[in-house]
Amino acid sequence: MRGKIALVTGAAGGIGEAVVRALSERGALVAAVDKHGDRLHEVVAELTSTGLQVHAFPADITSSAEAERLVAEVEDALGPLDHLVNAAGVLRLAKARELTDADWAATFAVNTTGVFFMSRAVVNRMVPRRSGAVVTVASNAASTARMDMSAYSASKAATTMFTKCLGLEVAQYGIRCNLVAPGSTETPMLTSMWKDESGRTATLEGSPEAYRVGIPLGKLARPCDVAEAVVFLLSDQAGHITMHDLTVDGGATLGV
């Protein structure tokens, strides 16, 4: 990763922050992007204080114009992008028939449309250079039905297929597009689903009433576990891998 330039969305926390850290620790120059500017600057300040090369770029990826402006600004400031990591995501919990219009729209705006805007803006610049790698953080819920997560699951399923189709179209230019599909990961998004400590127990051991089998490895993923998978798919070690969906869920979806 040394000398590579990467853009990571959702960089102000959770998996996105872990990806920024993992890439910068390996010598990459990272553009850290998030809508939450204050928290983003805190994260970047912490990382740069240890000598890592990370720059904050607050932006709203749900705007097409903003995405195009952002990518142009990043390349003007740092240089041509080698890597894009789509890690921004939101979760709205509700029964499918009780979701509000706003819940549905907000979920797809970030998880799907934002990925489309960012991928288009970056890959269109990669094509003339005939190189680059994109990794989108999807979810194991994209292929396994979950109670109260229909909007989230649907958005991640759409994003998964979009990324694979994009990868097929740009393979001829030497650009690889892959996905990492995390399961339950120790982040604020996960803990926001728990009412008390019983939520952790149900996640680990399973919940028959919700048709969840638990996690065979008996532990939650850490953000760094997911970040390591992202780094691998971006790296030259994965140079012959594209359109792949790498599940990182401790066996929660039983390898399906």
So what's the pLDDT on residue 74?
98
Q: 146 is written with which tokens?
A: 């979950």
So what's the pLDDT on residue 201?
79
So what's the pLDDT on residue 256?
85
- Annotated domain spans of the chain: 5-183+223-247, 186-220
The half-sphere exposure of 92 on its side-chain side, counting CA atoms within 13 A, is 20
**pTM across the whole model:** 0.95
Q: Which residues pair with 221 in a beta bridge?
A: 185
So what's the pLDDT on residue 188?
76
Q: 74 is written with which tokens?
A: 């990043």
Sheet architecture: strand order including 54-58? 54-58, 29-34, 5-9, 83-86, 132-137, 175-182, 245-248
| pLDDT, tens digit, 9 for 90 and up, residues 75-97 | 999 999 999 999 999 999 999 99
So what's the pLDDT on residue 46?
97
So what's the pLDDT on residue 177?
98
Q: What is the DSSP string of 5-43?
A: EEEEESTTSHHHHHHHHHHHHTT-EEEEEES-HHHHHHH
The answer to whether 159 and 201 have CB atoms below 8 angstroms apart is no
The answer to whether 209 and 102 have CB atoms below 8 angstroms apart is no
Give CA angle at 171 (231, 5), nearest 5°: 40
* CATH code, residues 5-183+223-247: 3.40.50.720
Q: Active site includes 173?
A: no
Q: What is the DSSP string of 92-150?
A: --B-GGG--HHHHHHHHIIIIIHHHHHHHHHHHHHHHHT-EEEEEE--GGGTS--TTBH
What are the two backbone dihedrals, phi and then psi, of residue 97, each rounded to the nearest 5 degrees?
A: -85, 0
Q: DSSP assignment, residue 86?
A: E
The answer to whether 36 and 30 have CB atoms below 8 angstroms apart is no
The answer to whether 165 and 122 have CB atoms below 8 angstroms apart is no
- CA–CA gap between residue 123 and residue 165 (Å, rounded): 13
Which residues of the chain fall short of a pLDDT of 50?
none
- CA–CA gap between residue 81 and residue 22 (Å, rounded): 17
**Helix, strand, coil tally for the chain in percent (to 5):** 50, 15, 35
Q: Out of 90, 152, 247, 252, which one is annotated catalytic?
A: 152
